[in-house]
Amino acid sequence: MNIVLTGFMGTGKSSVGKRLAEGLGLEYADTDDLIEARAGMKVRKIFAEKGEAFFLALEKDVIRDITSGKEGLVLSTGGGAVIDEANRRFLRGWGTVVCLAASSGTILERVGSGDERPLLDRPDRKAYVEELLKRREAAYRDCDLLIDTTKKGVEEVTEEIRRFLFC
Ligand code: S3P
């Protein structure tokens, strides 16, 4: 069994992914962590020094590498990974793709100061989050299961995914 957790920043992908993997006895990986390990620098620094296109190319590579010949993995992706259609098609062929969503207000609350999120490093954060959500909506909807986590905690969301997988 392979499961992909995707969706916008601050929707709970990492917390839910870790909890799900733990409960199912599966391995867990996070594309941002894999990218940082490969580049030897934090996501913020990659964006600042190499740019978003470089980050996205690395992301594509780590997705291909971590999934190759792999069975029994829960993979959380960065929020931009499935915006690329090739990544999306690839991941949907590899595993069950669960997309987490949340309202812009909840996203902004959860990401807090957003030090880890270079894309949100701007004065018009709220408007930009709303614009990105709109722009990305169709890509995020292209999944096996879509869960709005706005009013839900990690346990509840994890349980919803478990029910979907086993019912
Ligand atoms: C991004 C989301 C981030 C990270 C990068 C780009 C995006 O991951 O991959 O900053 O384009 O939405 P999280 O969704 O885990 O914060």
pLDDT of residue 113: 80
Q: What is the pLDDT of residues 67-83, one digit of tens each?
A: 998 899 999 999 999 99
Helix axes 125-141, 104-111, angle to 10 degrees: 110
Contact (CB, 8 A) for 78 and 31 = yes
Closest-CA residue to 102 (of 122, 73, 132): 132
DSSP tag of 119? G
Task: Encode pLDDT of 18-57 as tens digits.
Answer: 999 999 999 999 999 999 999 999 999 999 999 999 999 9
- Regarding the beta carbon of 63 and ligand 1, being less than 6 Å apart is answered no
79 lines ligand 1 (CB under 6 A): yes
Indicate whether residue 3 lines ligand 1 (CB < 6 A): no
Confidence band (pLDDT; 50, 70, 90) for 14? very high
Question: Domains, the chain, ranges and CATH?
Answer: 2-166 (3.40.50.300)
Q: Is 80 in the pocket of ligand 1 (CB under 6 A)?
A: yes
pLDDT 10s digits, 53-111: 999 999 999 999 999 988 999 999 999 999 999 999 999 999 999 999 999 999 999 99
Between CA 29 and CA 47 the distance in angstroms is 21
What are the pLDDT digits (tens) for 113-154? 867 899 998 999 999 999 999 999 999 999 999 999 999 999
Q: Is the CB of 35 under 6 A from ligand 1?
A: no
Note the pLDDT of residue 28.
Answer: 98
- Contact 32 CB / ligand 1 (< 6 Å): yes
**Confidence at residue 114, expressed as pLDDT on a 0 to 100 scale:** 66
73 CB neighbour count, 10 Å cutoff: 18
Ligand 1 probe mutation, 16, 30, 32, 41, most atoms within 8 A of CB: 32
CA 167 to centroid of ligand 1, rounded, Å: 31
Distances (CA, A) of 81 to 30, 138, 155: 11, 14, 24
Q: What confidence category does residue 155 fall into, taking pLDDT thresholds of 50, 70 and 90?
A: very high
Residues 6+ apart with CB under 8 A from 57: none
